[in-house]
Amino acid sequence: MLFSATDSLSAIWQTLLHELQRGALDPKHPFRYLSLATAGTQFPQVRTVVLRQFTADLEFLAYTDVRSSKVQELLDVPRVSLHFYHPKKQVQVRVKALATIHVEDELAQEHWKRVSEKRRSEYQSKLGPGTRVEAPAVGWESSSEHSYFSVLKFSPLSLEVLQLAREGHLRIQYDLASGWQGVWLVP
């Protein structure tokens, strides 16, 4: 368990922030991989992304190819939901956030330097993500002189945490409007 009913809301908040930070730093932490939900054009779209950084301002950063469908979806509707799940601690975190896309700006350039040479090809393909190809190797043909790297920044408006427990589930909501003060919710 991540928290119990006897823990204070502020202590739970600090524990939650610690776990989210660990997700960004530890490749083996369950919060490293999160689900990103966007509005989509006809249907909601959900996909897994990698948490690259959790900032002191509580922003979540992920990387993507700027040509991916999620980028256009975020340009059309910047409201997203993020979903984290920790199976051992049986805790779910849902985040409502606003997305911004950073391409060739200071933030993107800073993060591009962190991408290993081996992984850079993932953002230098001649063809954009989702393009139909005759064989997998065609999709990896590189255009090394140009990068399609971008950083997605998700600025949270609210975080809701659900602790599953045999004794009874616990649910708390924290939101920006209240200065991240938590309130208990019925699970």
**CA 171, 172, 175, 177 torsion-angle sign:** positive
> Does 113 reside within a domain?
yes
- Of 158, 183, 169, 154, whose CA–CA distance to 2 is shortest? 169
Q: How many helices (H) and strands (E) does the chain have?
A: 5, 9
The answer as to whether 4 is a domain residue is no
The count of domains in the chain is 1
Cα gap 173→184, rounded to integer Å = 7
- Whether 100 is covered by a domain: the verdict is yes
Q: What is the pLDDT of the chain when averaged over all its residues?
A: 95
Q: Is residue 126 included in any domain, yes or no?
A: yes
Confidence of residue 80 (pLDDT cuts 50, 70, 90): very high
Rg, Å, the chain Cα set: 18
- What is the pTM (predicted TM-score) of this model? 0.94
| Domain assignment present for 142 | yes
The domain in which residue 73 lies consists of 9-185
Query: For residue 154, what is the domain's CATH number?
Result: 2.30.110.10
Residue 2 belongs to some domain of the structure: no
Residue 173 lies in a domain: yes
Model pLDDT for residues 91-145, shown as the tens digit of each residue: 999 999 999 999 999 999 999 999 998 898 889 888 889 889 888 877 777 776 6
Residues in the chain: 187
Q: Is residue 130 part of a domain?
A: yes
